[in-house]
Amino acid sequence: MTLSAKKTSVLLAGLALVLLGGLIFLGTQVSRGPLATVALGDGRILQVEGVTYGIDHHIGNRSSRLLWRLTAWLPGRLYERLAPKNPESNIGSLDSPALVVWVNAVSEGTGTNVDCQGIRVELVSEQGEHFESATSSWSGGQKFWRVGHVFKVYPRNESKLTMQVTTWKDDKTNQMEFPNPHVVRPEAWTGLNLPQQKQAGDLTIVLAGLRLRTDGVPPKYYVTRSVYWEPVWELRRGREKLDGWNKPEWLAEDPLGNQGKYLGTNQPVLRFSASFYPAATNTEAAQLLATLPQTAVTNQQSIVWWNQTVQSESNTLSVLGLFPAGNYVFQEGVLLTNSPVSMGAVSGGAPSGWTGQSQAVNPLKVVHYNGHYSKNDSVIYVSAPKLGDASRLAMRLRDDQGRNWVTKPESQGAVDGIYPFLLTLPPEVNQVTPELLLLKPVEAEFIVKVPVATGGGGAQR
């Protein structure tokens, strides 16, 4: 071996030792103790490991990501030894700042980590209102499990937060307290009495009143019982109430920055916003972007390719084609006709949906794939990576008799700009002409002086 080769070998060996030493140091760091603990009464002790606020959330040892990328190149025993005791978990890219309560559980008998699922968690305000977790993210492996419970609505102005925990199986309830990492002062809003109305072009959006509603009735073990205000909307042209529009999509916001539907009834002022989208069968309001070739839809066995480009204002869209039921893999919004990975059905037995998979190409690069699955229905895929948040796409089907049928958008939405539209047609429909539509909403918002909640109704404050 030449002197130069020996120097290179020594350098590489030194770098490897430094890397492994760093992994060992990071992987064996001792985590701080929990913020709060409570015995659930079923042999488990629930621990609040941390509470984070913002749009992107992280907890655990960051070294686990690098270590995971080296999994394929490390011996199994070495990987297990280097793996951190509290591996990394992330919840990222939320649509607005929210609170995440990270929990894990240990066995009362052995103190070892156990599964922390099978519970309902709620944040309880000083007024006794209960706020549900909007969603949760489970992560774990062979020896450690963690759940991040995401709260988009909660008492943001309270310095200490109270979390109520109820076990699904035994219906046992306990409470625990921990500090609020981001205390908010309410904004000063002035609300107006109802009814209110606003113009949207030649249309009028009316907020006619508020109804007191209760979510979680009849009670279910996994649903939080929430009392809230439901707005009563009308869409008019002049004095005429309009048909051909979908039910309004509405949202409430309080002076603390909470956004959602279940905001409770203790805020004196709320802001309500509404978006009315035209139905796909509304030929007057739905904008026709493209008419695709007439296509047979009975017993489809192979892909019907269109690859038709469509221009919508400054956006370029592409209708890929009509695909038989099955699983199709995309990478960064591009369909892979010869995918290096295979994907199965959606977990839980759903008839359609998205799945994901990651593959380490080398120690420093990971490639992510998304698969769309449809069990029974053919699918039209549309690529629209730069479609605005407010606008919606729809696919209308016109049959030989001039009847209009509407495809079903994938309930899980678009991934990387790929919009799936599922064909759910009666058996007598043999041929259709697909029409790609753009649905633009009419919108308005109102700041309202809300009623005082009194049983089943309300009186103006």
> What pLDDT does residue 220 have?
86
Q: Which of 450, 417, 434, 416 is nearest to 378 (CA)?
A: 434
Strands (E) located in 301-410: 304-312, 315-323, 326-331, 334-335, 352-362, 365-374, 379-383, 392-399, 404-406, 408-409
> What pLDDT does residue 52 have?
97
Contact 207, 445 (CB under 8 A): no
Pairing label, strands 119-124, 130-132: antiparallel
Average confidence (pLDDT) over 199-219: 91
Lowest-pLDDT range, 21-25, 32-36, 280-284, 365-369?
21-25
> What pLDDT does residue 391 have?
83
pLDDT, mean over the chain: 88
Rounded to 5 degrees, φ, ψ at 458 are -160, 155
Q: What is the CATH number of domain 287-339+375-440?
A: 2.60.40
> What pLDDT does residue 65 have?
55
Average confidence (pLDDT) over 152-162: 97
> What pLDDT does residue 84 have?
61
Tens digit of each residue's pLDDT (9 = 90 or more) over 35-49 = 999 999 999 999 999
> What pLDDT does residue 299 have?
87
Q: Which of 191, 241, 232, 229 is nearest to 208 (CA)?
A: 232
Tokens of 138: 């489970």
12 pLDDT tier (thresholds 50, 70, 90): low
Average confidence (pLDDT) over 170-195: 96
Tokens of 244: 């051909």
Sign of CA dihedral 444, 447, 451, 452: positive
> What pLDDT does residue 457 have?
43
Res. 102: pLDDT tops 90:
yes
Measured CA to CA, the distance from residue 453 to residue 90 in angstroms comes to: 39
Tens digit of each residue's pLDDT (9 = 90 or more) over 398-421 = 999 999 999 999 999 999 999 999
Res. 3: pLDDT tops 60:
no
> What pLDDT does residue 4 have?
58
176 pLDDT tier (thresholds 50, 70, 90): very high
Cα distances (Å, whole numbers) of residue 170 to 115, 118, 173, 438: 16, 10, 9, 49
pTM, entire model = 0.80
Domain boundaries, the chain: 26-179, 196-246+443-460, 287-339+375-440
Q: Which amino acid type is present at position 74?
A: L
Measured CA to CA, the distance from residue 372 to residue 322 in angstroms comes to: 14
Tens digit of each residue's pLDDT (9 = 90 or more) over 299-323 = 899 999 999 999 888 889 999 999 9
Lowest-pLDDT range, 25-29, 329-333, 390-394, 399-403?
25-29
**Half-sphere exposure at residue 163, Cβ-oriented, CA atoms within 13 angstroms:** 28
> What pLDDT does residue 359 have?
86
Q: Which residues of 384-401 are buried (b: 16+ CB within 10 A; e: fewer)?
A: beebeeebbbbbbbbbee
Measured CA to CA, the distance from residue 422 to residue 346 in angstroms comes to: 15
441 pLDDT tier (thresholds 50, 70, 90): very high
Average confidence (pLDDT) over 428-443: 95
Q: Which of 252, 272, 261, 262 is nearest to 131 (CA)?
A: 262
Lowest-pLDDT range, 66-80, 87-101, 267-281, 415-429?
66-80
Contact 85, 113 (CB under 8 A): no
Average confidence (pLDDT) over 85-90: 81
235 pLDDT tier (thresholds 50, 70, 90): very high
> What pLDDT does residue 28 have?
44
Tens digit of each residue's pLDDT (9 = 90 or more) over 23-39 = 544 444 445 789 999 99
- Among residues of the chain, what percentage have pLDDT more than 90? 72
